[in-house]
Structure 1
Amino acid sequence: MTETVTHTDDEPGAAAVPPRGRGGRRTALIVSAVAVVAAVAVLGALGLGGGPDEGPAAPPRAGSLVPVTRTTLTERTQVDGRLGYGPEIPLPVKATGTVTWLPEPGTTAERGDTLLRVDDRPVVLLYGTLPMYRDLGPAAAASGQAQESGRADGEQAGQKPDATGDGSTASGSPAGGTGGGQDGTRTAAPRELKGMDVLQFETNLAALGYTGFTVDETFTARTADAVKRWQKALGLAQTGTVGVGDVIYSAGRIRIGHSGVRPGAAVGENTLTYTGSARKVVVDASAGDASWAVRGTAVRVRLPDGRSVSGRVASVGKEATAPEGGEGGSGQQAATVPVTVTIKDQKSLGRLESGPVTVEYVGRKAEDVLTVPVAALVALAEGGYGLETARGTFTAVRTGLFADGRVEVSGAAVREGLKVRIPE
């Protein structure tokens, strides 16, 4: 049929002009043939005709050829976050008195630094997880343990403390006395203070360079000597005893936040706030779509200048919060949970301390699948998608994951290395 169409009257060597009576019929045949060829070309371009997987050949269209490749596709989702140092927390200041000095907000403090001054006494930062809950020193041990020893000795002697109401025992001895002195009483020998808080403090004292004692759970006379040297360096009276308000513990370096009082005011609960010294990102993730937020999950953080740095999910809040202005139309889906992302390489952040960022995490993943550029897909008239081969044929495909400008494809006629056309 094609040969019949291409041989026209204007070509050299064409057949003689037919008689006038047959001219109308020949003209009709030529017009019909052209229409059929055009219809076949259209059907081929639309993927109609032929088998279910591959259509008939058609004149190839313009465009570049690319191979079907086997690779792993990873779907990445982006959410908004904010870079900063995290929420500010009140410092547990246990000193009592008047605030006489406060540091500037944004100052970084580390072990041995003065956090503030109360009654012109420094309150020093040390590292540890156990809070300061008692005085540490030989005097503290002697005071508390002597009372305990006195009570025990009195009970062993069958005496009832304060039986006469004047602080003496039934025998006339002072309550808690153990005998042995010129006045008939015994003085309890001071015993050394022990505990995990002692170990924590001695570890810090040694790290600051004050040695000469054994770092253990016992506060000895040698420990007191080291404390006196430390107190001298701080400009304090050399008592050898550390008061409960002289020290504040934290897990590491901190960054000073805002103060709730001014110098001259009394110490209160919100005297001074702090954060960690490392910058981090907080994401308000949708409570209905936060399955990606698992502790330890690796993410990418895109900074305002376009650079990306590595991050990792450190914690996920357990309490959902409705956004400001009320819940959305879907109720619970409008609520969010805070997700904290830490950045190990702090230098990669440069001098940026705060600002909006984008957090990118991995969603779905398709491993070892056949893929083509998304631009190679052709919509078929009967529905679905197909690919145009180098010969101009069209083959129907099933699509899977879309990611990174490529799409997962499968089908009976699809194989690795098959050349397909990206139409212009």
Structure 2
Amino acid sequence: MTHIDDEPQAASEPPRGRRGRRTALIACAVVVVSAVAVVGALGLGGGEDDGPSAPPRAGSLVPVTRATLTERTQVDGQLGYGTEIPLPVKATGTVTWLPEAGTMAERGDTLLRVDDRPVLLLYGSLPMYRDLGLTATASAGGTASGGETSGGDTAEGAAASGERQSDGGTGKAAAASPSAPPTSTGAQVAEATELKGMDVLQFETNLAALGYTGFTVDETFTAKTADAVERWQKSLGVPETGTVGIGDVIYSAGKVRIGRPGVRLGEAVGENALTYTGTARKVVVNASAGDASWAVRGTAVQVQLPDGKSVKGEVASVGRQASAPEGGSGEDGSGQGAATLPVTITIKDQKSVGRLESGPVTVEYVGREVKDVLAVPVAALVALAEGGHGLETADGSFVAVKTGLFADGKVEVSGSAVRAGLKVRIPE
């Protein structure tokens, strides 16, 4: 009886010849797959066409086109309100109130209080350089005997005529006492003289803008102007003198943002008692003095904020005095430590900045721009054996080119054999 073994027999190894043949077939398959991949990379396969925005593949043909190339450069900047400037405080006395840093002040607002008297902000370009009010001058209006003036009026009648005189203490106009004895012939009589000047026009313009009218806005400080000043002083809770002292107001070009105070409450006021800036946020760039040709007033730039948002800016001013930071020039010749010029950039749309008040930003400007030039992708350039650069055409030949501006991944090219529409190959 024949015994049948239930355990499976081990598979016998194929002959050596078959094993070698199988290895050869696998190798051929790998070669075929590699060839297909190469064909696909060269764009010779039958796949779908790439969209117009798809980057050219290595080995593909691209046309020479006419384009505008723009070279953009980025530099670091600082967002803020600009350099704080001391307010020209001319009041004398003790500081009794100060505003908080960052406070916005406009026309008619109190900037600080000195001896508990407000120092107010007005708009204008002329500084306050004198008191404004009616001035008293002496005139030779002698009287005849018996107290009659040369014109027949008594001294009392002249005093009651309504002319203003300085009281010497407050500056408020007042009439002469009717009980004063008659002046003798040749005596001088005090009369109110109207002050004139561009500073008067500037002040009256502000007074009218604050709602105190009843006078003609011109270069003459009249009795009607003094009346309006008294009404203004009454609303401020100060003595109604009709005269504005040199330390009562400070002029600026517009609204201001209060900076850090230079004094404390209870200290004597000084010229550096309070600082201010403008109310608009701006950017300051310390541009390299040797590469600041881009910084021209009116030049448009892009400002990238810390949150990644980009806003439009414009060069407003360029400093004329170069300064070098501590440490001097960089040893590696990288330009670190080189002299710089401060460049101020304004941002017209303040709302675009949001609530950000300060912080580091990046400023992008156009360093150089060429228009309507022949251009190809930088990757299309090849190094020629005889030197220089060239382009490979569709038929495999090479044409020499002269390169120009490199920007936006493209390069400006020119040469006798280069024309718009010429197909050139991007090497693998």
TM range (shorter): 0.7 to 0.9
Structure 2 letter corresponding to 1:97? G
Q: Distance in 2 between matches of 1:335 and 1:288?
A: 8
Whether the aligned pair in 1 keeps the contact of 2:325 and 2:337 (CA below 8 Å) is no
1:311-363, Cα deviation, whole Å (9 max, x unpaired): 22211111111111234457998211111111111111111111111222222
SS of corresponding position for 1:228:
helix
- Deviation string for 1:101-142 (max 9, x for gaps)? 11110111111111011111111100011000111111xx22
Q: What does 1:354-393 correspond to in 2, within 5 Å?
A: 354-393=358-397
Written as runs of structure 1 = structure 2, the 5 A alignment for 1:308-323 is 308-323=310-325
Q: 2:127 is matched by which residue type in structure 1?
A: P
Q: Aligned AA for 2:378?
A: V
What's 1:340 paired with?
344
Q: Which residue of 2 aligns with 1:234?
A: 236
1:12-411 matched pairs, under 5 angstroms: 63-138=59-134, 141-142=135-136, 146=137, 181-182=183-184, 184-328=186-330, 334-411=338-415
CA offsets per residue over residues 255-303 of structure 1, 9 Å max, x none? 1000111111110222111111111111111122222222222222222
1:414 aligns with 2:418: yes
Residue pair 1:286, 1:333 contacting (<8 A) in 2 also: no
Number of residue pairs matched by the alignment: 329
Question: Under a length normalisation based on structure 2, what TM-score does the superposition of the two structures give?
Answer: 0.72
Whether the 8 Å contact between 2:72 and 2:367 is mirrored in structure 1 is yes
Q: Residue 189 of structure 1: SS of its match in structure 2?
A: strand
Distance (whole Å) between structure 2 residues aligned to residue 328 and residue 378 of structure 1:
35
Give the secondary-structure state (helix, strand or coil) at the position aligned to 2:96. strand
Greater displacement, 118-127 / 388-397: 388-397
User: Deviations for 1:197-235, whole angstroms, at most 9, x for unmatched residues?
Assistant: 000001111111111111100011111111111111111
Flag structure 1 segments of 5+ consecutive residues without an equivalent.
Answer: 1-60, 151-179
Specify whether residues 274 and 62 from structure 1 end up closer, same or farther in structure 2 by C-alpha distance, changes over 3 A only: closer
Alpha-carbon distance in structure 1 between the residues aligned to 2:124 and 2:380: 60
Contact residue 386 and residue 394 of structure 1 kept, 8 A = yes
Q: Is the 8 A contact 1:137 1:240 kept in 2?
A: yes
Q: Which piece of structure 1 moves more, 87-96 or 358-367? A: 358-367
- The letter of the residue matching 1:266 is A
Instruction: Give 1:392 deviation, angstroms.
Output: 3.7
Shift of 1:364: 2.1
Q: Greater RCO between the two (CA within 8 Å, min separation 6)?
A: 1
* Aligned-residue CA RMSD (Å): 2.2
Give 1:70 deviation, angstroms.
Answer: 0.7
Cα separation, partners in 2 of 1:369 and 1:252, compared to 1, 3 Å: same
Query: Which stretch shows the higher mean deviation, 385-394 or 314-323?
Result: 385-394
Quick one: distance in 2 between partners of 1:64 and 1:253? 61
Contact residue 288 and residue 333 of structure 1 kept, 8 A: no
The separation in 2 between residues aligned to 1:96 and 1:223, in whole angstroms, is 25
Please tell me the residue identity of whatever aligns with 2:91. Answer: A
Inter-partner Cα distance in structure 2 for 1:249 and 1:401? 51
Instruction: Tell me the distance in 2 between the aligned counterparts of 1:365 and 1:402.
Output: 10
Q: Tell me the amino acid that sits aligned with residue 265 of structure 1.
A: E
Corresponding residue for residue 172 of structure 1: none
Is residue 75–residue 363 contact of structure 1 (8 Å, CA) maintained in 2?
yes
Query: Greater CA deviation, 331-340 or 88-97?
Result: 331-340
1:193 CA drift (Å): 0.6
Given that 2:90 and 2:271 are in contact with CA atoms closer than 8 Å, whether structure 1 keeps it comes out as: no
Counterpart Cα distance in 1 of 2:271 and 2:358: 27
Distance, in Å, in 1 between the alignment partners of 2:271 and 2:58 is: 75
Provide the C-alpha distance between the structure 2 equivalents of 1:190 and 1:378, rounded to a whole number of angstroms.
91
Taking structure 1 as reference, are residues 353 and 380 closer, same or farther at Cα in structure 2, changes over 3 Å only? same
CA–CA separation in structure 2 for the residues paired with 1:219 and 1:327: 59
After TM superposition, the structure 1 stretch with the greater mean CA deviation from structure 2, 233-242 or 301-310, is 301-310
Give the aligned residue type for 2:125.
Answer: T
Could you tell me how far apart the structure 2 residues matched to 1:271 and 1:327 are? 38
SS of residue matched to 1:388: strand
- Shift of residue 365 of structure 1? 2.1
**CA shift for structure 1 position 413:** 2.2
Q: Residue 174 of structure 1 aligns with which residue?
A: none
Moved more, 322-331 or 108-117: 322-331
Aligned with 2:425: secondary structure? strand
Q: Distance in 2 between matches of 1:315 and 1:196?
A: 29
The answer as to whether partners of 1:287 and 1:333 remain within 8 angstroms in 2 is: no
Residue range with higher mean Cα deviation, 88-97 or 409-418:
409-418
SS in 2 for 1:315: strand
